[in-house]
Amino acid sequence: MADHKAALRQYIQDNFIMGSNGTKFADGDSFMELHILDSTGFLELISHLEETYGIAVKDEEMVPENLDSLDAIDAFVARKLAA
């Protein structure tokens, strides 16, 4: 799963964070609280996960517990792929 996490970190870095204004975040940090992602950003993230991993994210799965940190997404994607 380490590969997923590194790839996801790269995706967040490339798409939502940049240069000297870049916010540093740990694997467990909340994207929402650090203002890395807003509502549109989360929708983009979900589309990215669906396309990259071929999973379908249901409405009830669109919650911070599944999406609001690298650790959370990593665990969520792993669960979805195993299902």
Nearest approach, Cβ of 39 to another protein (angstroms)?
4
* Interface pattern 49-68 for another protein (x via CB under 8 A): ---------xxx-xxx--x-
Query: Running DSSP on this structure, what letter comes out for residue 18?
Result: -
Under rule CB under 8 A, residue 75 binds another protein: no
Under rule CB under 8 A, residue 28 binds another protein: no
Contact pick of 1, 6, 10, 33 for another protein (by CB under 8 A)? 33
Question: CB-hemisphere CA count at 13 Å for 20?
Answer: 0
DSSP alpha helices (H): ranges in the chain? 2-16, 39-53, 64-67, 70-82
Contact in structure between 70 and 5 (CB atoms under 8 Å): yes
Q: Which stretch binds another protein (CB under 8 A): 2-10, 35-43, 48-56, 72-80?
A: 35-43
